[in-house]
Amino acid sequence: MSDNLPRYTLRIPREKLDKIKFIADYNGRSTNKEIERLIDEHISKFEESHSKIK
């Protein structure tokens, strides 16, 4: 798979990763997509409270 998305290595405790994997499976998503969804949600909440990030 070739794409232009940047790569980022995330170090996270195994217990948290296992829980995220469980939630991702439950929601029918990959672990990566679940983490991306969580990040998007966090950014949206931040921008609602502060202002749009440029």
pLDDT at 30: 97
Element at 18 (helix H, strand E): helix 14-27
- Asked if residue 2 belongs to a domain, the reply is no
- Asked if residue 40 belongs to a domain, the reply is yes
- Asked if residue 37 belongs to a domain, the reply is yes
Q: Work out how many domains the chain is built from and give that number.
A: 1
Return d(Cα 39, Cα 10) in angstroms, integer.
13
- Asked if residue 9 belongs to a domain, the reply is no
pLDDT tens by residue, 17-50: 999 999 999 999 999 999 999 999 999 999 999 9
pLDDT at 1: 54
- Asked if residue 3 belongs to a domain, the reply is no
- Asked if residue 6 belongs to a domain, the reply is no
Long-range residue pairs from 35-42, CB within 8 A, at least 24 positions apart, any chain = 35/10
pLDDT at 10: 94
Instruction: Tell which wins on pLDDT, 3 or 37.
Output: 37
- Asked if residue 4 belongs to a domain, the reply is no
pLDDT at 3: 83
Its domain, for residue 22, covers: 14-50
- Asked if residue 31 belongs to a domain, the reply is yes
pLDDT at 16: 97
